């Protein structure tokens, strides 16, 4: 691994290029980094480690093709030179997790807007193709049973901090397409739905690792609300596969693409599935929203992606089951101190 200061340049890879992954020490970013390195690509990770961790990259820490730069994207002095020598950019750096966003809304807005603006400006100067990871949160309060990329977006009131996150990520999308239109930047935008798997923690409110950690400890699984709200979960390996395919496709440039799982499940059923899958003795407890979140919190009763466009463009659709996801999260938690 190159020094964390990023003093040495990455080696040449396929076509003499490297790939940049912002937020590459995070949950999804670290899996993507591993996959790229395994494919023979030198990778430059830019991460300030505010939510990411060097531990997430432990398996590839000694890889000669990995360079880690500990910095915010907007503060990275080498950004222009790095972009000039890059084949692609995967921009994953962002504020993550409902709890973090509700507690620190201003920081979340600044992170999402400033870091995205910085990477888009640098990429535009070099014409480096960029994949921007957005979120299903931009769909807001849409009542549609399937959320498709052409849907109108219904965002809540500005005094509720949840929607600050949604709007900041939506503005990231507007910025990306503005750069595409005015500066011919090759841009692909993906909207990630709930992604789960090894290395994800419940520290910022992510529901599945929180449930699994509680179940492994035979502690109560706490469901916020009445448990009827539904979500679909995608294994991180499937998410990475989709990201890899989309970034390499010229036909995906200028497109918005959903990435998510198709198996819809209520939070109550998810908790019960987790308890059964890991063989836990845990009880399930409902916690009213007013006890868990600030006043005025709004929850979406349903969020289910249409992934027809993903399959049409890339020939891929996520296939790993929810039971597989739960098992992989449990195996990872058992192998680390997180389950203690």
Report how far Cα 308 is from the mean position of its chain's Cα atoms. 20
Rounded to the nearest 5°, which phi and psi values hold at 195?
A: -115, 140
Instruction: Give the per-residue pLDDT at 296.
Output: 64
- Looking at the 3D structure of the chain, how many domains does it have? 1
Instruction: Give the per-residue pLDDT at 6.
Output: 36
In a domain, 325, yes or no: no
Integer-rounded Cα radius of gyration of the chain: 19
> What are 45's strand-pairing partners?
21, 68
The answer to whether residues 89 and 128 touch, using CB atoms and an 8 Å cutoff, is: yes
> What are 257's strand-pairing partners?
190
Which positions ≥6 away from 323 have C-beta within 8 Å?
273, 277
Instruction: Give the per-residue pLDDT at 97.
Output: 65
The answer to whether residues 109 and 12 touch, using CB atoms and an 8 Å cutoff, is: no
- Tell me which residue of 148, 128, 137, 252 sits closest to 194, measured CA to CA: 137
Instruction: Give the per-residue pLDDT at 204.
Output: 67
The answer to whether residues 228 and 85 touch, using CB atoms and an 8 Å cutoff, is: no
Which tokens belong to 267? Answer: 């939070």
In a domain, 36, yes or no: yes
Instruction: Give the per-residue pLDDT at 337.
Output: 63
In a domain, 34, yes or no: yes
Cα 297 to Cα 98: distance, rounded to the nearest angstrom: 11
Q: Is 165 a catalytic residue?
A: yes
Question: Tens-of-pLDDT digits for all 340 residues of the chain?
Answer: 443 433 333 344 556 799 999 999 999 999 999 999 999 999 999 999 988 999 999 999 999 999 999 999 999 999 999 999 999 999 999 887 666 677 778 888 888 999 999 999 999 999 999 999 999 999 999 999 999 999 999 998 888 877 888 999 999 999 999 999 999 999 999 999 999 999 998 776 799 999 999 999 999 999 999 999 999 999 999 999 999 999 999 999 999 999 999 999 999 999 999 999 999 999 999 999 888 777 767 888 999 999 999 999 999 999 999 999 999 999 999 998 644 4
> What are 44's strand-pairing partners?
20, 67
Place of tokens 């109550």: 268
Instruction: Give the per-residue pLDDT at 10.
Output: 37
Query: What is the span of the domain harbouring residue 168?
Result: 14-195+235-260+304-319
In a domain, 268, yes or no: no
Instruction: Give the per-residue pLDDT at 95.
Output: 81
In a domain, 8, yes or no: no
CATH number at residue 116: 3.40.50.720
Neighbours of 241 (CB within 10 A): 20
Which tokens belong to 278? Answer: 């890991």
Q: Which one of the listed residues 139, 165, 289, 293 is annotated catalytic?
A: 165
Neighbours of 94 (CB within 10 A): 22
* CA distances from residue 101 to 193, 200, 224 in whole angstroms, order as listed: 17, 17, 17
Report how far Cα 267 is from the mean position of its chain's Cα atoms. 20
Instruction: Give the per-residue pLDDT at 11.
Output: 40
The answer to whether residues 45 and 24 touch, using CB atoms and an 8 Å cutoff, is: yes
The answer to whether residues 59 and 35 touch, using CB atoms and an 8 Å cutoff, is: no
Contacts by residues 140-145 (CB-CB < 8 Å, ≥ 24 positions apart): 140/166, 140/300, 141/298, 141/300, 145/302, 145/304
Place of tokens 């000039």: 84
């Amino acid at each position: 691994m190159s020094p964390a200061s990023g003093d040495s340049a990455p080696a040449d890879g396929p076509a003499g290029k490297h790939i940049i992954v912002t937020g590459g020490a995070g949950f999804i970013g670290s899996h993507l980094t591993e996959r790229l390195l395994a494919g023979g690509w030198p990778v430059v990770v830019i991460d300030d480690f505010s939510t990411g961790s060097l531990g997430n990259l432990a398996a590839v820490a000694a890889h000669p093709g990995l360079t880690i730069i500990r910095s915010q994207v907007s503060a990275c002095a080498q950004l222009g030179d790095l972009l000039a020598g890059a084949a692609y950019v995967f921009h994953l750096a962002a504020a993550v997790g409902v709890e973090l966003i509700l507690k620190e809304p201003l920081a979340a807005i600044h992170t999402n807007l400033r870091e995205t603006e910085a990477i888009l400006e640098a990429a535009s100067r070099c014409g480096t193709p960029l994949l921007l990871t957005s979120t299903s949160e931009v769909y807001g309060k849409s009542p549609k049973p399937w959320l498709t990329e052409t849907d109108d977006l219904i965002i809540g009131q500005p005094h509720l901090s949840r929607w600050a996150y949604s709007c900041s990520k939506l503005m990231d999308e507007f910025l990306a397409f503005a750069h595409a239109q005015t500066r011919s930047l090759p841009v692909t935008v993906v909207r990630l739905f709930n992604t789960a798997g090894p290395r994800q923690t419940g520290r910022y409110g992510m529901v599945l690792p929180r449930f699994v950690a509680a179940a492994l400890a035979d502690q109560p699984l706490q469901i916020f609300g009445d448990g009827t709200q539904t979500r679909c979960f995608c294994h991180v390996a499937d998410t990475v596969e989709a990201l890899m395919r989309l970034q390499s496709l010229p036909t995906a440039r200028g497109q918005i693409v959903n990435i998510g799982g198709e198996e819809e499940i209520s939070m109550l059923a998810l908790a019960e599935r987790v308890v059964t899958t890991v063989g836990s003795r845990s009880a399930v407890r409902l916690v009213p929203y007013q006890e868990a979140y600030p006043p005025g919190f709004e929850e979406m009763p349903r969020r289910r992606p249409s992934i027809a466009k993903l399959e049409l463009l890339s020939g891929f659709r996520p296939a790993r089951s929810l039971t597989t996801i739960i098992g992989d999260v449990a195996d990872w938690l058992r192998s680390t101190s997180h389950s203690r």
